[in-house]
Amino acid sequence: MRLSAASKLPLELIKMIISHLIYDTRSLLACSLTCYPWYIASIPYLHRTLIVRFDDWPKPLRNASKFGLLPLVKKFCIHGSSWTRYPFPPKRFNHQILRQISGMTNIRELDIDDLDIPRFIPKARHYFGHFLPRLQSLCLKSPEGSCRQIIFFIGLFEHLQDLTLLEGTLGKLEHEPVDDLTPIPPFSPPLQGRLVMMYFMRAGFLESMIGLLGGVRFRYMDLFGVGDTQILLYACAETLETLRLYPADPWGKQL
Amino acid sequence: MSSLRSLDLSRNKSLRAVEVMARAVLPLHKTPNPAVPTFLRTTLSTITSPAFFEVVVFYRDYEFDGVESYPHHGPNMYRKIKPAWRAMEASWHRGLFKIFREMYTVRHFQLVLCADVWGPLKEYTMRVLRRAAAVEKAAKRLSYLPSEPLVVSNPRRYPEEKLGMKISYCLAD
Protein backbone atom coordinates (compact mmCIF):
# COMPACT_ATOMS: atom_id res chain seq x y z
CA MET A 1 0.00 0.00 0.00
CA ARG A 2 1.31 3.44 -0.91
CA LEU A 3 1.55 5.92 1.95
CA SER A 4 0.07 9.36 1.43
CA ALA A 5 2.33 12.42 1.62
CA ALA A 6 0.52 13.53 4.79
CA SER A 7 1.41 10.35 6.66
CA LYS A 8 5.10 10.64 5.69
CA LEU A 9 5.53 13.91 7.59
CA PRO A 10 7.49 13.69 10.85
CA LEU A 11 5.27 13.63 13.94
CA GLU A 12 6.81 16.91 15.19
CA LEU A 13 5.58 18.71 12.06
CA ILE A 14 2.16 17.11 12.28
CA LYS A 15 1.91 18.24 15.90
CA MET A 16 2.80 21.80 14.85
CA ILE A 17 0.07 21.78 12.21
CA ILE A 18 -2.47 20.33 14.63
CA SER A 19 -1.58 22.89 17.30
CA HIS A 20 -2.99 25.61 15.01
CA LEU A 21 -6.33 23.85 14.96
CA ILE A 22 -6.91 23.16 18.62
CA TYR A 23 -9.96 25.45 18.78
CA ASP A 24 -11.44 24.19 15.54
CA THR A 25 -13.08 20.89 16.39
CA ARG A 26 -14.34 20.18 12.87
CA SER A 27 -10.88 20.50 11.35
CA LEU A 28 -9.41 18.43 14.16
CA LEU A 29 -11.95 15.72 13.47
CA ALA A 30 -11.09 15.80 9.77
CA CYS A 31 -7.37 15.57 10.61
CA SER A 32 -7.96 12.59 12.90
CA LEU A 33 -9.53 10.73 9.97
CA THR A 34 -6.57 11.36 7.62
CA CYS A 35 -4.21 8.63 8.76
CA TYR A 36 -2.85 7.08 11.94
CA PRO A 37 -0.08 9.67 12.73
CA TRP A 38 -2.59 12.51 12.28
CA TYR A 39 -5.08 10.65 14.47
CA ILE A 40 -2.45 10.27 17.20
CA ALA A 41 -1.57 13.98 17.04
CA SER A 42 -5.16 15.25 17.06
CA ILE A 43 -6.86 12.92 19.54
CA PRO A 44 -5.50 14.57 22.73
CA TYR A 45 -7.14 17.85 21.66
CA LEU A 46 -10.36 16.22 20.52
CA HIS A 47 -10.89 14.59 23.88
CA ARG A 48 -9.33 17.29 26.01
CA THR A 49 -12.69 18.42 27.39
CA LEU A 50 -15.43 16.11 28.59
CA ILE A 51 -18.80 17.77 29.12
CA VAL A 52 -21.55 15.90 30.90
CA ARG A 53 -24.93 17.56 31.26
CA PHE A 54 -27.30 16.84 34.11
CA ASP A 55 -29.89 15.63 31.60
CA ASP A 56 -27.71 12.89 30.14
CA TRP A 57 -25.61 12.10 33.21
CA PRO A 58 -23.52 9.88 33.16
CA LYS A 59 -23.76 8.69 29.55
CA PRO A 60 -20.79 10.67 28.06
CA LEU A 61 -18.64 9.67 31.04
CA ARG A 62 -19.55 6.02 30.59
CA ASN A 63 -18.84 6.15 26.84
CA ALA A 64 -15.47 7.85 27.33
CA SER A 65 -14.58 5.20 29.90
CA LYS A 66 -15.68 2.41 27.56
CA PHE A 67 -13.32 3.63 24.81
CA GLY A 68 -10.43 4.28 27.21
CA LEU A 69 -10.42 8.02 26.55
CA LEU A 70 -10.59 9.24 30.15
CA PRO A 71 -6.81 9.62 30.63
CA LEU A 72 -6.85 12.13 27.73
CA VAL A 73 -9.41 14.34 29.46
CA LYS A 74 -7.89 17.45 31.01
CA LYS A 75 -11.05 19.46 31.57
CA PHE A 76 -14.13 17.90 33.14
CA CYS A 77 -17.37 19.89 32.98
CA ILE A 78 -20.62 18.99 34.71
CA HIS A 79 -23.17 21.40 33.27
CA GLY A 80 -26.68 22.05 34.46
CA SER A 81 -29.84 21.88 32.48
CA SER A 82 -30.55 24.86 30.20
CA TRP A 83 -34.18 25.17 31.31
CA THR A 84 -34.43 24.23 34.95
CA ARG A 85 -32.05 24.75 37.79
CA TYR A 86 -31.56 22.15 40.46
CA PRO A 87 -28.56 21.38 42.66
CA PHE A 88 -26.10 18.67 41.72
CA PRO A 89 -26.14 16.24 44.68
CA PRO A 90 -23.64 13.57 45.83
CA LYS A 91 -26.08 10.76 45.03
CA ARG A 92 -25.21 11.29 41.35
CA PHE A 93 -21.82 9.71 42.11
CA ASN A 94 -22.42 6.01 42.59
CA HIS A 95 -19.67 3.44 43.02
CA GLN A 96 -19.34 2.78 39.29
CA ILE A 97 -19.16 6.46 38.38
CA LEU A 98 -16.52 7.06 41.04
CA ARG A 99 -14.49 4.24 39.52
CA GLN A 100 -14.80 5.82 36.08
CA ILE A 101 -13.84 9.23 37.46
CA SER A 102 -10.73 7.69 39.00
CA GLY A 103 -9.69 6.91 35.40
CA MET A 104 -9.38 10.63 34.72
CA THR A 105 -5.78 10.83 35.80
CA ASN A 106 -4.86 14.07 34.05
CA ILE A 107 -7.62 16.44 35.07
CA ARG A 108 -6.35 20.03 35.29
CA GLU A 109 -9.67 21.90 35.12
CA LEU A 110 -12.97 21.21 36.82
CA ASP A 111 -16.14 23.10 35.93
CA ILE A 112 -19.34 22.33 37.85
CA ASP A 113 -22.75 24.00 37.77
CA ASP A 114 -25.09 24.18 40.78
CA LEU A 115 -22.89 22.04 43.01
CA ASP A 116 -24.65 21.18 46.27
CA ILE A 117 -21.57 21.85 48.39
CA PRO A 118 -23.16 21.37 51.87
CA ARG A 119 -24.13 17.81 51.00
CA PHE A 120 -20.71 17.03 49.54
CA ILE A 121 -18.71 18.44 52.43
CA PRO A 122 -18.88 15.45 54.86
CA LYS A 123 -17.24 13.19 52.24
CA ALA A 124 -15.71 15.77 49.91
CA ARG A 125 -12.41 13.91 49.64
CA HIS A 126 -14.22 10.69 48.78
CA TYR A 127 -15.90 12.35 45.79
CA PHE A 128 -13.21 14.76 44.62
CA GLY A 129 -10.06 13.09 45.97
CA HIS A 130 -9.05 11.90 42.48
CA PHE A 131 -8.70 15.48 41.33
CA LEU A 132 -6.73 16.81 44.29
CA PRO A 133 -3.15 16.21 43.13
CA ARG A 134 -3.38 17.86 39.70
CA LEU A 135 -6.32 20.23 39.65
CA GLN A 136 -5.21 23.76 38.77
CA SER A 137 -8.41 25.45 37.69
CA LEU A 138 -11.84 25.40 39.29
CA CYS A 139 -15.04 26.94 37.94
CA LEU A 140 -18.19 26.97 40.04
CA LYS A 141 -21.42 28.31 38.62
CA SER A 142 -24.19 29.11 41.11
CA PRO A 143 -22.86 26.83 43.86
CA GLU A 144 -25.15 25.97 46.76
CA GLY A 145 -23.85 26.71 50.25
CA SER A 146 -22.61 29.43 52.53
CA CYS A 147 -19.47 31.48 51.86
CA ARG A 148 -17.56 29.35 54.36
CA GLN A 149 -18.68 26.12 52.70
CA ILE A 150 -17.68 27.36 49.25
CA ILE A 151 -14.29 28.46 50.59
CA PHE A 152 -13.85 25.06 52.27
CA PHE A 153 -14.50 23.41 48.90
CA ILE A 154 -11.96 25.68 47.17
CA GLY A 155 -9.46 24.87 49.91
CA LEU A 156 -9.68 21.15 49.11
CA PHE A 157 -7.49 21.60 46.06
CA GLU A 158 -3.99 22.25 47.27
CA HIS A 159 -2.52 23.14 43.86
CA LEU A 160 -5.35 25.37 42.66
CA GLN A 161 -4.14 28.36 40.65
CA ASP A 162 -7.18 29.67 38.75
CA LEU A 163 -10.63 30.30 40.15
CA THR A 164 -13.87 31.19 38.36
CA LEU A 165 -17.02 31.95 40.31
CA LEU A 166 -20.21 32.69 38.45
CA GLU A 167 -23.68 33.38 39.70
CA GLY A 168 -26.99 33.64 37.85
CA THR A 169 -27.73 37.09 36.41
CA LEU A 170 -29.72 38.15 39.46
CA GLY A 171 -26.98 37.14 41.83
CA LYS A 172 -27.45 35.65 45.27
CA LEU A 173 -27.83 37.96 48.23
CA GLU A 174 -28.52 35.33 50.87
CA HIS A 175 -27.86 35.93 54.53
CA GLU A 176 -25.09 33.78 55.90
CA PRO A 177 -26.00 31.35 58.70
CA VAL A 178 -24.83 32.68 62.05
CA ASP A 179 -23.77 29.27 63.40
CA ASP A 180 -21.84 28.00 60.37
CA LEU A 181 -19.70 25.16 61.72
CA THR A 182 -17.89 24.40 58.48
CA PRO A 183 -14.26 23.59 59.33
CA ILE A 184 -11.44 25.73 58.02
CA PRO A 185 -10.18 24.66 54.57
CA PRO A 186 -7.63 21.82 54.65
CA PHE A 187 -5.20 23.64 52.36
CA SER A 188 -4.29 27.17 51.36
CA PRO A 189 -4.11 26.81 47.58
CA PRO A 190 -1.53 29.03 45.85
CA LEU A 191 -4.23 30.91 43.81
CA GLN A 192 -1.60 32.70 41.76
CA GLY A 193 -3.29 32.56 38.38
CA ARG A 194 -6.56 33.98 37.09
CA LEU A 195 -9.57 35.09 39.08
CA VAL A 196 -12.80 35.47 37.13
CA MET A 197 -15.93 36.49 39.02
CA MET A 198 -19.25 37.44 37.51
CA TYR A 199 -22.25 38.51 39.53
CA PHE A 200 -20.82 36.83 42.60
CA MET A 201 -22.36 39.16 45.18
CA ARG A 202 -22.34 37.10 48.39
CA ALA A 203 -21.81 39.43 51.29
CA GLY A 204 -18.46 39.00 53.00
CA PHE A 205 -17.24 36.32 50.59
CA LEU A 206 -14.08 38.10 49.51
CA GLU A 207 -13.00 39.01 53.06
CA SER A 208 -13.65 35.41 54.21
CA MET A 209 -11.75 33.97 51.25
CA ILE A 210 -8.74 36.19 51.87
CA GLY A 211 -8.85 35.41 55.62
CA LEU A 212 -9.48 31.66 55.50
CA LEU A 213 -7.15 30.87 52.61
CA GLY A 214 -4.34 32.98 54.03
CA GLY A 215 -4.49 35.65 51.34
CA VAL A 216 -4.75 35.54 47.58
CA ARG A 217 -2.05 36.26 45.05
CA PHE A 218 -3.82 36.40 41.70
CA ARG A 219 -1.94 37.72 38.71
CA TYR A 220 -4.99 38.28 36.51
CA MET A 221 -8.46 39.50 37.44
CA ASP A 222 -11.64 39.74 35.43
CA LEU A 223 -14.44 40.90 37.71
CA PHE A 224 -17.92 41.95 36.75
CA GLY A 225 -20.89 42.51 39.03
CA VAL A 226 -18.76 41.95 42.14
CA GLY A 227 -18.96 44.19 45.20
CA ASP A 228 -15.85 45.41 47.03
CA THR A 229 -13.43 44.93 44.17
CA GLN A 230 -11.02 47.28 45.88
CA ILE A 231 -10.45 44.69 48.66
CA LEU A 232 -9.18 42.25 46.05
CA LEU A 233 -7.03 44.88 44.40
CA TYR A 234 -5.37 45.65 47.73
CA ALA A 235 -5.00 41.93 48.60
CA CYS A 236 -3.18 41.33 45.32
CA ALA A 237 -1.22 44.59 45.45
CA GLU A 238 2.13 42.81 45.03
CA THR A 239 1.05 40.26 42.44
CA LEU A 240 -1.63 41.65 40.13
CA GLU A 241 -0.29 42.03 36.62
CA THR A 242 -3.40 42.35 34.48
CA LEU A 243 -6.82 43.75 35.29
CA ARG A 244 -9.85 43.64 33.04
CA LEU A 245 -11.98 46.74 33.43
CA TYR A 246 -15.68 47.19 32.85
CA PRO A 247 -17.29 50.61 33.05
CA ALA A 248 -20.43 49.76 34.98
CA ASP A 249 -22.41 46.95 36.43
CA PRO A 250 -26.15 46.45 36.91
CA TRP A 251 -25.90 47.46 40.55
CA GLY A 252 -23.97 50.59 39.77
CA LYS A 253 -21.21 49.61 42.17
CA GLN A 254 -17.51 49.29 41.66
CA LEU A 255 -16.79 46.79 38.92
CA MET B 1 -27.72 52.12 35.62
CA SER B 2 -25.36 54.48 37.34
CA SER B 3 -21.79 54.99 36.34
CA LEU B 4 -18.77 53.43 37.92
CA ARG B 5 -16.62 55.00 40.57
CA SER B 6 -13.04 54.75 39.42
CA LEU B 7 -10.67 52.20 40.88
CA ASP B 8 -7.57 52.98 42.85
CA LEU B 9 -4.66 51.07 41.33
CA SER B 10 -1.96 53.08 43.08
CA ARG B 11 -0.98 50.17 45.39
CA ASN B 12 -0.67 47.61 42.60
CA LYS B 13 3.05 47.85 42.02
CA SER B 14 3.38 45.00 39.54
CA LEU B 15 0.46 45.97 37.31
CA ARG B 16 1.59 45.40 33.76
CA ALA B 17 -1.56 45.71 31.70
CA VAL B 18 -5.12 46.91 31.79
CA GLU B 19 -7.69 45.28 29.56
CA VAL B 20 -10.78 47.13 28.50
CA MET B 21 -13.66 46.23 26.26
CA ALA B 22 -13.79 48.24 23.02
CA ARG B 23 -17.49 48.96 23.41
CA ALA B 24 -16.83 50.26 26.90
CA VAL B 25 -14.30 52.73 25.50
CA LEU B 26 -16.73 53.89 22.83
CA PRO B 27 -20.28 52.60 22.44
CA LEU B 28 -20.96 51.51 18.89
CA HIS B 29 -23.38 54.25 17.92
CA LYS B 30 -21.73 57.15 19.72
CA THR B 31 -19.19 58.16 17.12
CA PRO B 32 -19.55 61.98 17.09
CA ASN B 33 -17.23 63.73 19.56
CA PRO B 34 -15.73 60.63 21.17
CA ALA B 35 -14.09 61.19 24.58
CA VAL B 36 -12.35 59.04 27.15
CA PRO B 37 -14.94 57.67 29.63
CA THR B 38 -14.46 59.18 33.06
CA PHE B 39 -13.97 55.79 34.79
CA LEU B 40 -11.14 54.95 32.42
CA ARG B 41 -9.45 58.33 32.64
CA THR B 42 -9.52 58.33 36.44
CA THR B 43 -8.46 54.69 36.77
CA LEU B 44 -5.55 55.17 34.36
CA SER B 45 -4.42 58.24 36.27
CA THR B 46 -4.12 56.19 39.51
CA ILE B 47 -1.63 53.73 38.01
CA THR B 48 1.78 54.10 39.57
CA SER B 49 3.24 50.70 38.74
CA PRO B 50 6.66 50.99 37.10
CA ALA B 51 5.92 47.78 35.18
CA PHE B 52 2.84 49.18 33.45
CA PHE B 53 3.16 49.34 29.70
CA GLU B 54 0.10 47.88 27.97
CA VAL B 55 -3.52 48.75 27.37
CA VAL B 56 -5.27 45.82 25.77
CA VAL B 57 -8.50 46.72 24.02
CA PHE B 58 -10.50 43.58 23.45
CA TYR B 59 -13.13 43.19 20.80
CA ARG B 60 -15.88 40.60 21.06
CA ASP B 61 -17.55 38.68 18.24
CA TYR B 62 -20.58 40.94 18.20
CA GLU B 63 -18.45 44.06 17.71
CA PHE B 64 -17.63 43.03 14.16
CA ASP B 65 -20.06 43.55 11.33
CA GLY B 66 -20.77 40.36 9.48
CA VAL B 67 -20.51 38.27 12.62
CA GLU B 68 -23.35 36.92 14.65
CA SER B 69 -22.70 34.99 17.80
CA TYR B 70 -25.14 33.83 20.41
CA PRO B 71 -24.69 32.24 23.81
CA HIS B 72 -24.61 28.43 23.53
CA HIS B 73 -24.23 28.63 19.73
CA GLY B 74 -21.27 28.87 17.46
CA PRO B 75 -20.59 31.96 15.36
CA ASN B 76 -22.20 32.73 12.06
CA MET B 77 -20.11 35.05 9.91
CA TYR B 78 -21.19 34.64 6.34
CA ARG B 79 -23.87 37.29 6.29
CA LYS B 80 -23.70 39.80 3.45
CA ILE B 81 -22.43 43.09 4.83
CA LYS B 82 -24.10 46.29 3.71
CA PRO B 83 -21.69 49.13 2.73
CA ALA B 84 -23.46 51.42 5.19
CA TRP B 85 -22.63 49.02 8.05
CA ARG B 86 -19.02 48.87 6.92
CA ALA B 87 -18.86 52.67 6.94
CA MET B 88 -20.38 52.75 10.42
CA GLU B 89 -17.82 50.21 11.66
CA ALA B 90 -14.96 52.22 10.11
CA SER B 91 -16.25 55.36 11.77
CA TRP B 92 -16.43 53.56 15.12
CA HIS B 93 -12.82 52.39 14.76
CA ARG B 94 -11.77 55.96 13.88
CA GLY B 95 -13.49 57.22 17.03
CA LEU B 96 -11.78 54.54 19.12
CA PHE B 97 -8.34 55.51 17.87
CA LYS B 98 -9.11 59.13 18.69
CA ILE B 99 -9.88 58.06 22.26
CA PHE B 100 -6.70 55.94 22.48
CA ARG B 101 -4.73 59.07 21.63
CA GLU B 102 -6.47 60.96 24.41
CA MET B 103 -5.85 58.06 26.84
CA TYR B 104 -2.18 58.25 25.97
CA THR B 105 -2.03 61.76 27.36
CA VAL B 106 -3.19 60.42 30.74
CA ARG B 107 -0.79 57.46 30.86
CA HIS B 108 1.72 56.27 28.26
CA PHE B 109 1.23 52.72 27.03
CA GLN B 110 1.70 50.23 24.25
CA LEU B 111 -1.60 49.66 22.45
CA VAL B 112 -2.73 46.07 21.91
CA LEU B 113 -5.85 45.26 19.93
CA CYS B 114 -7.13 41.85 20.93
CA ALA B 115 -9.77 39.86 19.08
CA ASP B 116 -11.38 38.01 21.98
CA VAL B 117 -13.48 35.77 19.79
CA TRP B 118 -14.47 32.20 19.08
CA GLY B 119 -11.62 30.23 17.48
CA PRO B 120 -13.00 30.06 13.90
CA LEU B 121 -13.44 33.86 13.81
CA LYS B 122 -9.82 34.56 14.66
CA GLU B 123 -8.50 35.18 11.14
CA TYR B 124 -11.39 37.39 10.02
CA THR B 125 -11.51 39.56 13.12
CA MET B 126 -7.74 40.03 13.22
CA ARG B 127 -7.86 41.14 9.59
CA VAL B 128 -10.48 43.77 10.45
CA LEU B 129 -8.37 45.08 13.33
CA ARG B 130 -5.19 45.14 11.25
CA ARG B 131 -7.06 47.07 8.54
CA ALA B 132 -8.34 49.61 11.09
CA ALA B 133 -4.80 50.11 12.42
CA ALA B 134 -3.41 50.40 8.89
CA VAL B 135 -5.94 53.14 8.04
CA GLU B 136 -4.82 55.12 11.09
CA LYS B 137 -1.17 54.59 10.25
CA ALA B 138 -1.68 55.72 6.66
CA ALA B 139 -3.33 58.90 7.94
CA LYS B 140 -0.30 59.40 10.24
CA ARG B 141 -2.47 59.43 13.34
CA LEU B 142 -0.39 56.86 15.23
CA SER B 143 2.83 58.83 15.43
CA TYR B 144 2.35 59.41 19.16
CA LEU B 145 2.73 55.67 19.94
CA PRO B 146 6.25 54.29 20.59
CA SER B 147 5.47 51.38 18.26
CA GLU B 148 2.63 50.23 16.06
CA PRO B 149 -0.43 48.72 17.76
CA LEU B 150 -0.09 45.00 18.25
CA VAL B 151 -2.98 42.92 16.90
CA VAL B 152 -3.48 39.63 18.73
CA SER B 153 -6.23 37.14 19.30
CA ASN B 154 -7.39 35.34 22.37
CA PRO B 155 -9.51 32.43 21.25
CA ARG B 156 -11.60 31.37 24.20
CA ARG B 157 -15.19 31.40 25.28
CA TYR B 158 -16.21 34.04 27.73
CA PRO B 159 -17.52 33.15 31.14
CA GLU B 160 -20.60 35.30 30.72
CA GLU B 161 -21.71 33.09 27.85
CA LYS B 162 -21.90 30.33 30.39
CA LEU B 163 -24.42 32.52 32.17
CA GLY B 164 -26.36 32.81 28.92
CA MET B 165 -25.82 36.51 28.38
CA LYS B 166 -23.63 39.09 26.74
CA ILE B 167 -21.91 41.60 28.94
CA SER B 168 -22.30 44.49 26.55
CA TYR B 169 -26.03 44.39 27.21
CA CYS B 170 -25.36 45.42 30.79
CA LEU B 171 -23.01 48.25 30.04
CA ALA B 172 -24.16 51.80 30.43
CA ASP B 173 -23.95 53.11 26.87
Residue B68 β-bridge partners:
B76
Report chain A's C-alpha Rg in angstroms: 21
Measured distance CA(A48)–CA(A22) in Å, rounded? 10
Nearest residue in A to B24, CA atom:
A247
- What residues make up the domain containing B129? 17-170
Measured distance CA(B12)–CA(A156) in Å, rounded? 29
Q: Find the mean pLDDT for residues A72-84.
A: 85
Question: Is B153 within the bounds of a domain?
Answer: yes
* Local confidence band at A248 (pLDDT 50, 70, 90 cut-offs): low
Q: What is the pLDDT of residue A71?
A: 93
- Structural domains of chain A, count: 2
Residue A195 β-bridge partners:
A163, A221
A141 and A95 inside one domain? yes
**Quick one: what percent of chain B has pLDDT higher than 90?**
41
- Structural domains of chain B, count: 1
**Chain B CB contacts of A246 below 8 Å:** 4, 21, 24, 167, 171
ipTM (interface pTM): 0.81
Q: Which of A164, A225, A233 sits opposite B9 (nearest CB)?
A: A233
CB pairs under 8 A between A and B: 119
Per residue in A47-71, is it b (16+ CB within 10 Å) or e — as a string? bbebebebeebbeebeebbeeebbe
* Cα-Cα end-to-end distance for chain A: 63
A96-107 tens-digit pLDDT: 999 999 989 999
- What residues make up the domain containing A127? 50-244
Question: Is A251 within the bounds of a domain?
Answer: no
**Quick one: what percent of chain A has pLDDT higher than 90?**
43
Pair A218, A243: CB distance under 8 Å: no
B92-121 tens-digit pLDDT: 999 999 999 999 999 999 999 999 887 777
Scanning B113-132 for CB atoms below 8 A from A yields: 118-120, 122
Of A70-74, B75-79, B138-142, which gets the smallest average pLDDT? B75-79
A215-226 tens-digit pLDDT: 899 999 998 878
Question: Is A1 within the bounds of a domain?
Answer: yes
Q: Which of A70 and A255 is assigned the larger pLDDT?
A: A70
A107 and A195 inside one domain? yes
Q: Which of A166, A199, A230 sits opposite B7 (nearest CB)?
A: A230
Q: How close B49 comes to chain A (CA, Å)?
A: 10
Question: What are residue B56's phi and psi, to 5 degrees?
Answer: -100, 120
Residue B155 confidence (pLDDT) above 80: no
Of A25-34, A52-61, B8-17, B148-157, which gets the smallest average pLDDT? B148-157
Pair A87, A144: CB distance under 8 Å: yes
At A56 the three-state DSSP class reads helix
- Please report, for residues A197, B8, B62, the alpha-carbon distance to residue B134 in angstroms, rounded to integers and kept in the order given: 35, 34, 22
Q: Find the mean pLDDT for residues A146-162.
A: 92
Pair B110, B146: CB distance under 8 Å: yes
Query: Among the ranges A52-66, B16-30, B63-77, which has the highest mean pLDDT value?
Result: A52-66
Pair A45, A75: CB distance under 8 Å: no
Question: Is B110 within the bounds of a domain?
Answer: yes
Q: What is the pLDDT of residue A221?
A: 94
Pair A217, A193: CB distance under 8 Å: no
